[in-house]
Amino acid sequence: MKLVLTGGGTGGHVYPALAIAETFSHEKDFTPLSVLFIGTKDRMEAQIVPKAGVEIEFVRAAPLERKATPAFFAMLLTNLVGFVDSFEIVRKLRPDVLIATGGYVTLPVVAAARTARMLGLLATKIVVLEPNAVAGLTNRVLGPLVDEVWYALPPGRKLGAREAVVGTPVRASMRRPMTAAQGRAALKLDPLKTTIVVMGGSLGAQSLNETIADLVEKGFPEKWQILVLAGERDQQETWRRLGWRDRVKVLAYIDDPRPAYAAADIVVSRAGASTLGELAATGTPALLVPYPHATADHQTANARAYAASGAARLIPDAELDAGRLRLELTAALGAERATAMRAAAERAARADARSAIVARVKTWSLPNSSNP
C-alpha cells in the first residue's frame, strides 16, 4: 500500500496521522507499505514527523480567508502554489490512500489528489479525519471532495452514508499496559500518594500553571502529590514557584506521557483532540479546562462531548482559580465519584480507533496492497 498523510499546525492534527502510520506498519494486509507525510516547513510537523521516522515533503499553504482583502488574494496565490506542488507529488507517487487529519495544509493536498483522480491519473481513496467535535473551516470545505469523513467524536446528528465515528487514533505506546505504581516509579513519585497530573502540552498552558501554583502556595491535602508538566515556555517560572516544594514535581514536557497517565488519579488538562484521545486510550479521568481562544471554541465542544461519557468534568477557563480547582479536585477524588469517573474512563479505553480505521480501509479494493 502507498499511503499519504497530510495535516499540520497542532499536535491534534499531526499525532493522529503518525498513529495511523504506525498502525498500518503492523498490518500484514498493507505490506509492502510506503508512507509519505505532506506538511509545511514552518509548522510543528516539520520537527515531529521526521523524528517519528516518517518521510515528509513540504508544500506551501495558508489559512483560508473569507473577505476579499489583500490577505485573501495572497492566500489564494499561496494555496495555488501548494496545489501545484501537491499535484506533482501525488501524480508521481500515485497513493492508494490519502488521509487528511486537519490543518490548512490539507486543502491544497486534497484538492490536488481529487483533481488528479478526476483526470484519471490515479485511483486514490481520499479521507478526512476530523479530530475535533466542531469541524474546522478547511475540513468543511473538503467534505464534498473526499470519499469518507471520519469523526473522532460523534457530531451530534445522524451520520451520512460517507461518514463514520472512529475515535482518535493514538500511538501504540498509549495502550501499553502500565499500573499506577509503574508510572509513579518511572517518574520518581511517591507510590502511595493520590496523584494529580497537570499538563498543558509541549508549550504549556499559562492559566493551568498559574492556578496550580496558587493552589499549592495556599496549601493542599497531605495525601496529594502533584506533577506539573509545565511546558517549555512556562517551566522556568513554574519551577521558581513550585520546584522546591514537597510533594510537587515540575517538568517541562515528556515525549512519552504514558507514565504520567498511568500515575495519575486524575489529570488536569486542556481539551485538544490528541489529549482527549490519550485520556480515552489510557482510561484516565480528567478535569478539562478548554483553551478559550481555540478556533470556533472547538475545545469547549470537545470537552462537552467527552465529559458526556462521565470520564471528565469541564471547568471554563474564565472560572478557573485556585479555590474552584481545589473544590473540583476534592469532589473528583472522593471515593464515589472517583470510582464512577474511572469506570467511565475505562469504558472509553475499550474503543480503539486504530482498529476501526484499519477495518474500514480493509473493505476497500487497493491495487498496491495484499487486500483481497
pLDDT in tens, 252-262: 888 889 999 99
> What is the tally of structural domains in the chain?
2
The whole-number pLDDT of residue 9 equals: 81
- Cα 35 to the center of its chain, rounded Å: 20
Share of the chain above pLDDT 90, in %: 61
205 and 343 in a single domain? The answer is yes
pLDDT per residue as tens digits for the range 272-287: 888 988 998 899 999 9
| Residue 128 and residue 142 in contact, taking contact as beta carbons nearer than 8 Å | yes
Cell numbers describing residue 30: 498493507
The whole-number pLDDT of residue 372 equals: 41
User: Would you say residue 127 lies in a domain?
Assistant: yes
Beta strand segments in 28-157, E: 34-39, 55-58, 97-100, 125-130, 148-151
285 and 258 in a single domain? The answer is yes
288 and 145 in a single domain? The answer is no
The whole-number pLDDT of residue 365 equals: 65
Poorest-pLDDT segment among 42-51, 60-69, 214-223, 301-310: 60-69
Look at 194 and 309; give whichever has higher pLDDT. 194
With a cut of 50, say whether residue 370 has pLDDT above it.
no
Q: What is the mean pLDDT of the chain?
A: 90
C-alpha torsion sign, points 352, 355, 361, 363: negative
User: Residue 261 is part of which domain span?
Assistant: 174-349
What pTM did the predictor assign? 0.85
213 and 356 in a single domain? The answer is no
68 and 45 in a single domain? The answer is yes
The whole-number pLDDT of residue 35 equals: 97
The whole-number pLDDT of residue 208 equals: 94
Look at 202 and 107; give whichever has higher pLDDT. 107
The whole-number pLDDT of residue 350 equals: 75
Look at 66 and 16; give whichever has higher pLDDT. 16
130 and 185 in a single domain? The answer is no
192 and 226 in a single domain? The answer is yes
The whole-number pLDDT of residue 253 equals: 83
| Residue 124 and residue 111 in contact, taking contact as beta carbons nearer than 8 Å | no
User: Would you say residue 225 lies in a domain?
Assistant: yes
Look up the CATH number of the domain holding residue 86: 3.40.50.2000
11 and 113 in a single domain? The answer is yes
With a cut of 70, say whether residue 367 has pLDDT above it.
no
One DSSP character per residue, 135-158 reads --HHHHHHGGGSSEEEESS--SS-
57 and 163 in a single domain? The answer is yes
With a cut of 70, say whether residue 202 has pLDDT above it.
no
145 and 192 in a single domain? The answer is no
286 and 153 in a single domain? The answer is no
User: Would you say residue 371 lies in a domain?
Assistant: no
The conformational region for residue 232 under phi > 0 = left, psi -120 to 50 = alpha, else beta, is alpha
153 and 105 in a single domain? The answer is yes
